Amino acid sequence: MITEEKFLNYFLNVPVSINNLYGDPFFKVQEENTFNKLKNIAETNHKGIVSIITKSEISSDNIERLKYFNSLLNLIVLVSCSELPSSIEKVNGNRYNSLRRCVETKIPVIAYVRPFIPGLNTTKESIENMLRQIAETGCKRIVVCGLRGSDSILLNSNIEKEKLHEWSLRVKIMPPDVKAYILEFSEKYNLKIYDRTSCGVAAELGLDYSYNPYYHSPQLAGCRNCELKETCFDKQRSFIPTEEDYEFIRSLGYHPTIANENDFEICRVDPQKRKECVSCCTSCFMLKRHAIQLSDENICLGDLSLLRLLVKKLVFKKGVIDFGDKDIAKPKNPFLSDLNLYILNSWWSYSRNISSCYNCSYCIVKHYNSDKWNSFSEECGEIPFYAGKKIWIKIKGAKI
Residue 400 lies in a domain: no
Distance from chain centroid for Cα 219: 19
3-state SS assignment for residue 118:
coil
Query: Length of the chain, please?
Result: 400
- Residue 196 located in a structural domain: yes
3-state SS assignment for residue 81: strand
Say if 186 falls within a structural domain: yes
Residue 375 confidence (pLDDT): 44
Spatial CA neighbour of 225 closest among 173, 183, 287: 183
What is the mean pLDDT of each successive set of 10 residues along the chain, which is 400 residues long? 93 95 86 97 98 95 98 97 89 95 98 91 96 98 86 74 74 86 96 95 94 88 86 69 93 90 80 84 88 93 95 93 76 89 90 79 66 57 96 82
pTM, full prediction:
0.93
Give dist(CA 57, CA 47) in Å, integer: 27
Given a contact cutoff of 8 angstroms between Cβ atoms, the answer to whether 18 and 357 are in contact is: no
pLDDT value for 261: 64
CA-angle at 119, arms to 139 and 58, nearest 5°: 30
Q: How far is Cα 379 from Cα 94, in angstroms, rounded to an integer?
A: 28
Query: Which tens digits make up the pLDDT trace of 313-327?
Result: 999 999 998 776 667
**307 occurs within a structural domain:** no
Residue 335: its pLDDT value, please? 87
- pLDDT value for 373: 45
Residue 349 sits at the vertex; the CA angle it makes with 284 and 74, to the nearest 5 degrees, is 95
Query: In sequence order, what E strands does 295-390 have?
Result: 315-316, 348-353, 378-380
CATH of the domain at 345: 3.20.20
| Residue 14: how many other CB atoms lie within 10 Å | 25
User: Do the Cβ atoms of 98 and 77 come closer than 8 Å?
Assistant: yes
Give the per-residue pLDDT at 376.
40
- Is residue 352 included in any domain, yes or no? yes
Judge whether 92 lies within some domain: yes
pLDDT digits (tens, 9 = 90+) for 233-260: 755 556 788 899 999 999 999 999 988 6
18 neighbors 25 (Cβ within 8 angstroms)? yes
How many structural domains are present in the chain? 1
Which residues are registered as beta bridge partners of 343? 348
**Beta bridge partner(s), residue 49:** 74
- Alpha carbon separation from 149 to 172, 192, 311 (Å, rounded): 11, 25, 36
Q: Judge whether 242 lies within some domain.
A: no
In angstroms, rounded to a whole number, what is the distance separating the alpha carbons of residues 339 and 348? 13
pLDDT at 157: 65
Question: d(Cα 333, Cα 391) in Å, to the nearest integer?
Answer: 12
- Measured from the Cβ of residue 58, the count of other Cβ atoms closer than 10 Å reads 25
Answer yes or no: is 297 within a domain. Answer: no
Calpha distance 124→132 (Å, rounded): 12
CB atoms within 10 A of CB 87: 8
Q: Which residues, at least 6 apart from 42, have a Cβ–Cβ distance to it below 8 Å?
A: 69, 72, 73
Query: What type of residue sits at position 351?
Result: S
Domain that holds residue 79: 4-232+325-394
| Pick from 274, 255, 268: nearest CA to 216 | 268
